[in-house]
């Protein structure tokens, strides 16, 4: 297993010239810096993973409590705590070099300039396959979702990021908008190579005894199986609106879940919250996709992308 020789060629997919051994990618914020999983799964078998959102400078994040479980999901208000782009390049990338998996650097800033600064730092790093612009984090008061809510602001940042970037640019959309297709079109027109969706949905949970929000930040981002149907619908809508490859995200925990997104129009998928309650879920989904190809006589999973009848 360890040498990656059992990669099934039927599962290979491509996004903006980057080949992924399979469409299974660990989602940002749920996969740390990848290394945390080295003892639990075979990183060489993983299609890829997106790092925790990296900013130009380290961020401390929000005060606890930061997570609360809800039915079929969880709310989080981590607030983008991260080690910073420089530390990622210097401390984590060299350790990741020995694994054969695609590394997507997820990027965050409080302003356009901070996003560009982070990308400029990351341009120095070896072994990053692509950038994923997080314009959709609901747990910070500036940047993130503020940009992600406005097609004009999102397009402006995409254009600047594309210019600054030495690598393919994925833009990650927020579901907390009225019409996600409008946003997707604006971002693709501005030069995005790929779109990933969805980020978490703004939610709230209240402790009825104290009559206070359960999260110190007040609201949080909902993730997990509870959001999957919303995410599938949005991938379907965006697939009809734009021509770039899509990465589907939201509540995926099995091969069947992943296939829903692929059939709806996603080229690859990311697995988030499921990694917490089942740290080996990515391997199970890869195995499940292989089994599906087997039993349905599918020559390549690419044939299933956007195959909704």
Partner 1 sequence: MIETIATADSNRELAPGYRLLTLDLKEDVPVRAGQFAMLKPHASLEPLLRRALAVYRVHSPRRISFLYQVLGRGTEALARVENGGAVEALLPLGNSWPDAIGANQRVIVVAGGIGSASVFMLCEKLASTGVDTQLLFGARSEPTAIGCGLEDFRALGLPLTLTTDDGSLGEQGFVTGALERELLRSGRPRSTIYACGPWVMMKRVAEIAVQFEARCFVSLEAPMGCGFGVCVGCVVAVKTRGTNEYGSYKRVCTDGSIFPAESIRWEVDPIAH
Ligand X SMILES: Cc1cc2nc3c(=O)[nH]c(=O)nc-3n(C[C@H](O)[C@H](O)[C@H](O)COP(=O)(O)O)c2cc1C
Task: Name the site residues for partner 1 (rule: CB under 8 A).
Answer: 29-32, 36-37, 39-40, 52, 58, 60-61, 63-69, 71-74, 76, 78, 81, 83, 87, 91, 210, 212-216, 224-225, 273, 275-280
Told to judge if 137 belongs to the known catalytic residues of this protein, a careful annotator would answer yes
Under the binding rule (CB under 6 A), the answer on residue 27 touching ligand X is: yes
Distance CA 138, CA 68 (A): 15
Under the binding rule (CB under 6 A), the answer on residue 252 touching ligand X is: yes
Beta carbon of residue 302, minimum distance to partner 1 (angstroms, whole number)? 30
Binding partner of residue 199 among ligand X, partner 1, none, CB cut-off 5 to 8 Å per kind:
ligand X
Quickly list H helices, 225-308: 228-241, 255-264, 274-277, 281-295
Q: What is the CA radius of gyration of the chain?
A: 18
Under the binding rule (CB under 6 A), the answer on residue 26 touching ligand X is: no
Distance CA 78, CA 92 (A): 21
Binding partner of residue 250 among partner 1, ligand X, none, CB cut-off 5 to 8 Å per kind:
ligand X
Binding partner of residue 28 among partner 1, ligand X, none, CB cut-off 5 to 8 Å per kind:
ligand X
Under the binding rule (CB under 6 A), the answer on residue 176 touching ligand X is: no
Beta carbon of residue 285, minimum distance to ligand X (angstroms, whole number)? 11
> CA triplet 86, 91, 93: central angle to 5 degrees?
90
**Do the Cβ atoms of 86 and 120 come closer than 8 Å?**
no
Which residues neighbour 308 within 8 Å (Cβ) at sequence distance 6 or greater? 236, 263, 264, 265
Nearer to ligand X by C-beta: 10 or 284? Answer: 284
Query: Could you tell me which stretch among 74-82, 183-191, 211-219, 286-294 binds ligand X (CB under 6 A)?
Result: 74-82
Coil/strand/helix, residue 187: helix
Please return the burial class of 103, using the count of CB atoms within 10 Å of its CB with bins 0-12, 13-18 and 19+: buried
Binding partner of residue 43 among ligand X, partner 1, none, CB cut-off 5 to 8 Å per kind:
none
Query: Could you tell me which stretch among 23-31, 255-263, 278-286, 294-302 binds ligand X (CB under 6 A)?
Result: 23-31
Beta carbon of residue 255, minimum distance to partner 1 (angstroms, whole number)? 15
Beta carbon of residue 253, minimum distance to ligand X (angstroms, whole number)? 8
Beta carbon of residue 211, minimum distance to ligand X (angstroms, whole number)? 25
Binding partner of residue 85 among partner 1, ligand X, none, CB cut-off 5 to 8 Å per kind:
none
Active-site pick, 103, 104, 137, 247? 137
DSSP string, 13-50: EEETTEEESSSEEEPTTSSTTSGGGTTTS-GGGS-EEE
Coil/strand/helix, residue 196: strand
**Cis-peptide, bond into residue 288, ω within 30° of zero:** no
Under the binding rule (CB under 6 A), the answer on residue 220 touching ligand X is: no
Q: What residues numbered 263-302 form the site for ligand X, per CB under 6 A?
A: 271-274
Residue with tokens 């010239």: 17
**Cis-peptide, bond into residue 135, ω within 30° of zero:** no
Distance CA 120, CA 191 (A): 18
Binding partner of residue 65 among ligand X, partner 1, none, CB cut-off 5 to 8 Å per kind:
partner 1
Residue 169 pairs with which residues in a beta bridge? 131
Residues that bind ligand X (CB under 6 A): 27-30, 52-53, 76, 78, 80, 106, 134, 137, 172, 199-200, 223-224, 227, 249-252, 271-274
Which residues carry out catalysis?
Answer: 137
């Amino acid at each position: 297993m360890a040498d990656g020789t059992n990669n099934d060629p039927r599962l290979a997919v491509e996004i903006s010239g980057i080949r992924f051994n399979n469409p299974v990618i660990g989602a940002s914020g749920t996969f740390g810096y990848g290394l945390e999983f080295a003892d639990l799964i075979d990183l060489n078998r993983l299609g890829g993973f997106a790092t925790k959102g990296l900013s130009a400078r380290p961020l401390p994040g929000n005060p606890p409590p930061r997570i609360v479980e809800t039915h079929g999901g969880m709310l989080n208000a981590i607030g983008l705590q991260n080690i910073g782009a420089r530390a990622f390049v210097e401390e984590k990338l060299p350790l990741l070099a020995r694994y054969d998996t695609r590394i997507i650097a997820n990027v965050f800033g409080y302003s356009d300039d901070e996003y560009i600064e982070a990308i400029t730092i990351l341009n120095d790093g070896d072994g990053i396959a692509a950038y994923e612009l997080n314009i959709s984090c609901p747990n910070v008061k500036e940047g993130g979702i503020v940009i992600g809510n406005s097609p004009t602001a999102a397009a402006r940042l995409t254009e600047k990021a594309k210019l600054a970037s030495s690598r393919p640019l994925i833009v990650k959309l927020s579901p907390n908008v009225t019409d996600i297709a409008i946003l997707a079109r604006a971002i693709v027109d501005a030069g995005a190579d790929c779109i990933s969706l969805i980020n978490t949905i703004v939610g709230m949970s209240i402790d009825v005894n104290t009559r206070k929000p359960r999260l110190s930040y007040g609201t949080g981002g909902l993730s997990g199986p509870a959001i999957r149907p919303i995410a599938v619908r949005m991938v379907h809508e965006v697939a009809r609106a734009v021509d770039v490859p899509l990465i589907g995200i939201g509540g995926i925990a099995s091969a069947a879940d992943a296939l829903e997104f692929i059939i709806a129009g996603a080229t690859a998928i990311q697995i988030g919250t499921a990694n917490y309650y089942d740290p080996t879920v990515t391997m199970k989904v890869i195995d499940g996709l292989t089994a599906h190809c087997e039993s349905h006589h599918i020559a390549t999973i690419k044939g299933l992308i956007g195959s909704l009848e």
